[in-house]
């Protein structure tokens, strides 16, 4: 029998836990509301206790302390989510399971999931996964490894050109006003146009403006990292009409400066929706679990 791995994707609204061998075989799955850290983690632990698993991958929302040498390794850092600042995520699992435990940011897990489970991505040296929803973030894979660095990437907060004559919206980010996230997350779209983003029709001008900001961020990541594929996931990217708009605008911004058929062509295989659909995060958490045994 193939080995079973557990994965936990911990979001600000809900937690998802799953057990299985990979994308083709999930033998059990549960989801529950994010309440207090104690109650939420207890539910996750109770779920995994029911199964004979080899390792668990924990992928909560951030910011996280990912430095194994730090006394607060495995904790969430300062977060606006009430009750969750400095919450110890890894500790309760360490006390309950004598198993390899992987720990990484939700968007890093999603990036790793897209890389690990999809043959078309496994051959790449580098891949960037953006989640664009209530928050914006990016996970970066280089040579098969998730990039952490000093803390972990927070690419949603990069600064972009903002033409206030064309778009007077001041931005929704409490830290930076009109950073990428402040201009382009779901709440920014809703506030700018006076109705929830997912109620705007596909031909609404909101999407052209949204594609503009996403294309600027994607172009900046192409310039900075030269990744071999860029995956765009998250709630906002369920608006699939964004993809052709973003590809066209990235072309315009790059202006043929990067000479590679991958970016000078249609970019249909370069700027792509998640191959795992909405399951990148939870399957990524399972991939981190699997990887923690091999490494």
Per CB under 8 A, does 257 bind a second copy? yes
Nearer to a second copy, 132 or 219 (CB): 219
Q: Is the peptide bond before 146 cis (omega within 30 degrees of 0)?
A: no
Q: Which residues pair with 25 in a beta bridge?
A: 22
Instruction: Give the list of residues 6+ apart from residue 184 with CB closer than 8 angstroms, or none.
Output: 132, 136, 210, 213, 214, 217, 236
Q: Report the alpha-carbon distance of residue 231 to residue 142 in Å, rounded.
A: 14
Per CB under 8 A, does 295 bind a second copy? no
Q: Where are any strands of DSSP class E within 34-113? A: 55-60, 101-103
Q: In what order do the strands lie in the sheet with 5-10?
A: 25-33, 14-22, 5-10, 55-60, 101-103
Q: Per CB under 8 A, which region of 11-19, 44-52, 203-211, 256-264 contacts a second copy?
A: 256-264
Q: Report the alpha-carbon distance of residue 164 to residue 143 in Å, rounded.
A: 39
Q: Smallest distance from the beta carbon of 191 to a second copy, in angstroms?
A: 20
Q: Using the rule CB under 8 A, which residue among 26, 31, 253, 273 binds a second copy?
A: 253
Q: Using the rule CB under 8 A, which residue among 219, 267, 283, 285 binds a second copy?
A: 219
- What's the first-to-final CA gap in the chain, in angstroms? 21
Q: Smallest distance from the beta carbon of 222 to a second copy, in angstroms?
A: 8
State whether residue 28 is helix, strand or coil.
strand
Q: Using the rule CB under 8 A, which residue among 1, 69, 78, 240 binds a second copy?
A: 78
Q: Report the alpha-carbon distance of residue 37 to residue 181 in Å, rounded.
A: 26
CB 137 within 8 A of CB 158: no
State whether residue 214 is helix, strand or coil.
helix
Q: Using the rule CB under 8 A, which residue among 36, 262, 266, 268 binds a second copy?
A: 262
Per CB under 8 A, does 224 bind a second copy? yes
Closest CA to 157 of 220, 73, 207: 220
Nearer to a second copy, 195 or 262 (CB): 262
Q: Report the alpha-carbon distance of residue 110 to residue 116 in Å, rounded.
A: 10
Q: Smallest distance from the beta carbon of 194 to a second copy, in angstroms?
A: 25
Q: Using the rule CB under 8 A, which residue among 148, 248, 251, 278 binds a second copy?
A: 148
Q: Smallest distance from the beta carbon of 255 to a second copy, in angstroms?
A: 5
Counting residues that bind a second copy (by CB under 8 A) gives 48
Nearer to a second copy, 272 or 282 (CB): 272
Nearer to a second copy, 50 or 159 (CB): 159
Per CB under 8 A, does 152 bind a second copy? yes
Per CB under 8 A, does 80 bind a second copy? no
Nearer to a second copy, 44 or 158 (CB): 158
Nearer to a second copy, 22 or 144 (CB): 144
Per CB under 8 A, does 268 bind a second copy? no
Instruction: Give the list of residues 6+ apart from residue 40 with CB closer than 8 angstroms, or none.
Output: 10, 15, 32, 33, 34
CB 179 within 8 A of CB 157: yes
Binding residues for a second copy (CB under 8 A): 63, 77-78, 125-126, 138, 140, 142-143, 145, 147-162, 175-176, 216, 219-228, 253, 255-260, 262-263
């Amino acid at each position: 029998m193939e080995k079973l791995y557990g994965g936990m994707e911990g979001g600000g609204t809900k937690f998802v836990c799953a057990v299985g061998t990979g994308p083709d075989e999930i033998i059990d799955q549960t989801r529950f509301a994010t309440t207090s850290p104690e109650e939420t983690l207890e539910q996750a632990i109770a779920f995994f206790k029911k199964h004979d698993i080899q390792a668990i991958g924990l992928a909560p929302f951030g910011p996280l302390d990912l430095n194994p040498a730090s006394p607060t390794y495995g904790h969430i850092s300062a977060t606006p989510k009430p009750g969750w600042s400095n919450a110890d995520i890894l500790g309760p699992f360490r006390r309950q399971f004598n198993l390899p435990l992987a720990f990484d940011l939700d968007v890093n897990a999603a990036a790793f999931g897209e890389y690990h489970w999809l043959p078309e991505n496994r051959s790449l040296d580098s891949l960037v996964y953006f989640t664009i929803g209530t928050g914006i973030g990016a996970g970066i894979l280089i040579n098969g490894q998730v990039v952490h660095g000093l803390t972990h990437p927070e690419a949603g907060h990069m600064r972009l050109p903002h033409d206030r004559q064309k778009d007077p919206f001041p931005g929704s980010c409490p830290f930076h006003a009109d950073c990428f996230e402040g201009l382009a997350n779901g709440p920014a779209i809703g506030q700018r146009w006076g109705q929830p983003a997912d109620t705007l029709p596909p031909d609404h001008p909101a999407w052209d403006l949204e594609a503009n900001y996403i294309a600027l961020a994607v172009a900046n990541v192409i310039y900075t990292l030269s990744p071999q594929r860029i995956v765009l996931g998250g709630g906002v990217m369920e608006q699939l009409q964004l993809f052709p708009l973003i590809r066209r605008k990235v072309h315009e911004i790059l202006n043929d400066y990067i000479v590679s058929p991958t970016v000078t062509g249609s970019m249909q295989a370069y700027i792509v929706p998640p191959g795992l659909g909405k399951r990148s995060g939870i399957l990524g958490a399972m991939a981190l679990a699997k990887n923690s045994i091999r490494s």
